[in-house]
Structures are given as C-alpha cells and as structure tokens.
Amino acid sequence: MGLNLEDKKAVVAEVSAQVATAQTIAVAEYRGIEVSDLTVLRKKARESGVYLRVLKNTLVRRAVAETPFAELSSQLVGPLIYSISTDPVAAAKVLNDFAKTNDKLIIKAGSYSGKVLDKAGVQALASIPSREELLAKLLGIMQAPVSGFACALAALAKQREEAAA
C-alpha cells in the first residue's frame, strides 16, 4: 500500500531532520536479505547511533535537496537502505561491517563532507577508527608516561627502604 501525501511529507520531514545534523550518509542495496538479518543490522545501527531505514528514493532526493548531500541524488537508484549518522564514520562502518558477513548487502555509495563516495570510498571511510577508539588510544598514550613514572618511583622507594634496613 502506497503512502498518502501527508505520510510522504512526514517521511521527508523526518529524513530532513536527520540529514540536517548528519556528517555521513551511506547507501547499500539490500535485495535478497532475510528479515532476521535486517533486524540484526538495525540493532547494530541503533547501538552505534546510526539512523538506518529503507526509504523511497524520491523522498530521500527531496530531503537532501539543497543540502551538502544533494549530489548523492544521482546514486539513489534501486532498493536501497540508508545509513545516516552524525559520527563521520559510524554510518559507513555499520554497513561495511555487515556487508563483510552478508554478501547480499552491496554498498553502493555514500557522501561525507559534501563529497560523493563510491563503494571503495565508503569502505575506506569505514576503516577509520571511530572517535571513541581514537580517544581511548590517546588516553592510553597519555597514561603510559605517568604509570611508568609511578613504577619507577615505587622501585626507587623500595630500593631506599632496602638500603636503610
């Protein structure tokens, strides 16, 4: 059953709201994927803070018109699932990780920072560590000298105690 005009306007408004705050959009063809697999994909997307939805291409074209993602419109052909995120890599990462385990999901295109990406570009974007991973690495690097200094201080204190005894 098709959508009436009010439903279409609501979908365009919802997608426009997501696109307004988004940094990345990735799209993939989902033809032949079982419902249970799509449920797993949606769960991973929710956990990553990614807006993931199957949408009519014409409605998405209207939602992205006059935004930095407008050039992506030419790539919106066929049955597509849309992955939209405010995190620069999350949308691409969710689709790319799922595509590694399910060959029926075919990454088609994406857009990041106003530039249209092909399949290889989306995969390259997905390979970048997420913000949380980068912050964890930075914290580890910052803690290493402090913990090394603390160990050296403890060893020096122990050595002085032994010398005093």
For residue 25, what pLDDT is reported?
92
**How far, in Å, CA of 101 to CA of 110, rounded?**
20
For residue 157, what pLDDT is reported?
83
Q: Which residues of 109-145 are buried (b: 16+ CB within 10 A; e: fewer)?
A: bbbbeeebbebebbbebbeeeeeeeeeeeeeeeeeee
Percent helix, strand and coil across the chain, each to the nearest 5 = 60, 15, 25
**How far, in Å, CA of 92 to CA of 109, rounded?**
10
**How far, in Å, CA of 163 to CA of 165, rounded?**
6
Residue 38 CB neighbours (<10 A):
17
For residue 1, what pLDDT is reported?
54
Mark the ranges of the chain whose per-residue pLDDT is less than 70. Answer: 1
pLDDT digits (tens, 9 = 90+) for 143-162: 777 777 777 778 888 888 88
This prediction's pTM: 0.76
For residue 42, what pLDDT is reported?
93
